């Protein structure tokens, strides 16, 4: 199962490199949004809380733009039969989950570097800031993956995506924003332990539910 999942994930990367379905839309979005923020801020400095909120808003819309493509593009092009004929549901969901997670990590790394460069943000606790963003990213990509799978079966595709994912993501986003904000201000581990715990358990629940749910939706 793991070998097959890796093969699916590799296929998605090669496909992404050739077609740039997700990447092009993502890069444009990120560059536009960050430029707008830069122009509207001028020399003004934002509070840590505002910065954390902005970072996660960018991440949310960027990923909900790009990641919805993974299942929808297979369904639209009729290639999902290739996967159905060649592997089991759990290999497919695992492969897509790995692909989306790696892609989200790359995107978010890019967003944050760009954000720091443009707004001159100083992060006081870089290690825990990275941990917070990473855990948030993991949860985010897990939710986005299963929702993309659900939506690929629905009629209206892309437009449903942010609408459906937002309420589900709310608890994760709140925890991510608050621990990102606190670590920008230099908080230690004990101050954000609750948030970290929340993010980890949220992600575990979502991944477990994804495997169960995906078995049901994958075949018709």
Residues that bind other proteins (CB under 8 A): 3-4, 7-8, 10-11, 14-15, 18-19, 77-79, 81-89, 91, 219-220
CB of 85 to other proteins, least distance (A): 5
Q: Provide CB contacts within 8 A for 15, sequence distance 6+.
A: 21
Closest CA to 112 of 189, 180, 47, 20: 180
Q: Which is nearer to other proteins, 14 or 45 (CB)?
A: 14
Q: How far is the CB of 216 from other proteins (least distance, A)?
A: 11
Nearer to other proteins, 84 or 157 (CB): 84
Q: Considering the complex, what minimum distance in angstroms separates the CB of residue 6 from other proteins? A: 9
d(CA 66, CA 100): 9
User: Based on CB atoms, which residue is closest to other proteins, 58 or 96?
Assistant: 96
> What's the rounded Cα separation, in Å, for the pair 178 and 80?
39
- Could you tell me if 143 and 68 are in contact, meaning their C-beta atoms sit under 8 angstroms apart? no
Length reported for the chain:
220
Q: How many CA atoms lie within 13 A of 87 on its CB side?
A: 20
C-beta atoms surrounding 213 within 10 Å: 14
Q: Cβ closer to other proteins: 10 or 124?
A: 10
Task: Select 89 or 116, whichever has its Cβ closest to other proteins.
Answer: 89
- Non-local (6+) Cβ contacts of 50 within 8 A are none
| Residue closest to 220 by CA, chosen among 157, 161, 152 | 152
CB of 218 to other proteins, least distance (A): 10
Closest distance of CB 123 from other proteins, Å: 39
Nearest approach, Cβ of residue 81 and other proteins (Å): 5
CB 144 within 8 A of CB 63: yes
CB of 4 or CB of 134, closer to other proteins: 4
């Amino acid at each position: 199962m793991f070998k097959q999942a890796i093969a699916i994930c590799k296929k998605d990367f090669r496909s992404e490199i050739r077609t740039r379905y997700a990447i092009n839309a993502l890069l444009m979005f990120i560059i536009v949004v960050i430029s707008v923020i830069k122009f509207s801020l001028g020399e003004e400095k934002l509070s840590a809380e505002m910065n954390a909120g902005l970072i996660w808003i960018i991440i949310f819309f960027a990923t909900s733009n790009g990641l919805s493509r993974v299942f929808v593009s297979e369904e639209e092009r009729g290639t999902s039969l290739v996967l159905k004929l060649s592997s089991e549901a759990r290999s497919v969901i695992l492969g897509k989950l790995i692909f989306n997670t790696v892609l989200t990590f790359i995107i978010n790394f890019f967003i944050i570097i760009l954000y720091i460069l443009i707004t001159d943000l100083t992060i006081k606790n870089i290690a825990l800031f990275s941990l917070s963003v990473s855990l948030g990213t993991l949860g985010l990509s897990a939710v986005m993956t299963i929702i993309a799978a659900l939506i690929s079966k629905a009629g209206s595709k892309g437009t449903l995506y942010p609408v459906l994912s937002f309420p589900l993501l709310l608890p994760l986003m709140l925890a991510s924003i608050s621990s990102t904000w606190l670590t920008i201000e230099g908080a230690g581990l004990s101050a954000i332990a609750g948030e970290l715990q929340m993010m980890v358990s949220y992600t575990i629940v979502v991944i477990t539910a994804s495997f169960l749910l995906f078995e049901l939706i994958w075949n018709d």
